[in-house]
Amino acid sequence: MIKVAVTSVYVDDVTRAHAFYTDVLGFETRVHLDLGDGAQYVTVGAAEGAQRDLQLLLEPGHGPVAAPYRAALREAELPCIVLSVDDMRAEFERLSGLGVHFAQEPRSRGPVITAVLDDTVGNYVQLAQARG
């Protein structure tokens, strides 16, 4: 069986991204390596033992491939990743209370409820809750 192990999100600043994804979104640090010369290798994942085999790599987003890709996503107002939530209303209220800016407040879209937030490091992130 083949499964996703690590997927990347290109970010403006790895340190700030790490703080946002852990302190605000609630992920836990899985790997945090200092590679020297200010470079870091940082992965986060779902807290409380959920999805232990899946990590999100917070990757510097200023390279010749990442920068145009990120700019195109941002211009099109597309999320770089979709994260699932169990209770959209509760997460929206919690995150709003922490000062998170939502580009799209929760709305029903067929079988899901979605919202889009700004991760403060150059990306839109979509939250999704399955209905029913």
pLDDT tens figures, 63-122 = 999 999 999 999 999 999 999 999 999 999 999 999 999 999 999 999 999 999 999 999
DSSP conformational letter for 77? T
Which strand (E) or helix (H) includes residue 129?
strand 124-130
Q: What is the pLDDT of residues 31-52, one digit of tens each?
A: 999 999 989 999 999 998 778 8
Q: How far apart are CA 128 and CA 123, in angstroms?
A: 16
Angstrom distance (rounded) from CA 36 to CA 28: 23
Buried b (16+ CB within 10 A) or exposed e, 19-45: ebbbebbebeebeeeeeeeeebebbbb
- Say what the pLDDT of residue 5 is: 95
Strands 81-84 and 124-130: parallel
DSSP-derived secondary structure for 8-20 = EEEES-HHHHHHI
Q: Is the pLDDT of residue 124 over 90?
A: yes
In the predicted model, is pLDDT for residue 56 greater than 80?
yes
Work out the number of other CB atoms within 10 angstroms of the CB of residue 85. 19
